[in-house]
Amino acid sequence: MISVQAIVKYIKSNGNKVTNERRFGVHVLRSLKLSLTNGQGEQIKRSFKHTKNAKNKRRGVEKLRANQAEVNKIK
């Protein structure tokens, strides 16, 4: 489970420049709410976590990309 402050701190520490703090926070909250409505995440008190369906979907995408990379190496 990850809090909103931890998500914001992680995004900032990975080199993303934030010009407007308040606007950035609004965008993070909006994207989290969108993931909740899409069923990709769930909220527990003030923290968020991925659902099992989202994790499985992400693993499937990673496998697909790995297979495509292998095919491109062969060509």
Along the 75 residues of the chain, how does pLDDT read in single tens digits? 667 777 788 888 887 888 888 888 888 888 888 877 777 777 778 777 767 766 667 777 778 888 888 888 776
Q: Where are the beta strands (DSSP E) in the chain?
A: 2-3, 41-44, 47-50
Q: Which residues span the domain enclosing 38?
A: 2-74
Q: Dihedral of the CA atoms 14, 6, 37, 31 (nearest 10)?
A: -40
Structural domain count of the chain? 1
The number of residues in the chain equals 75
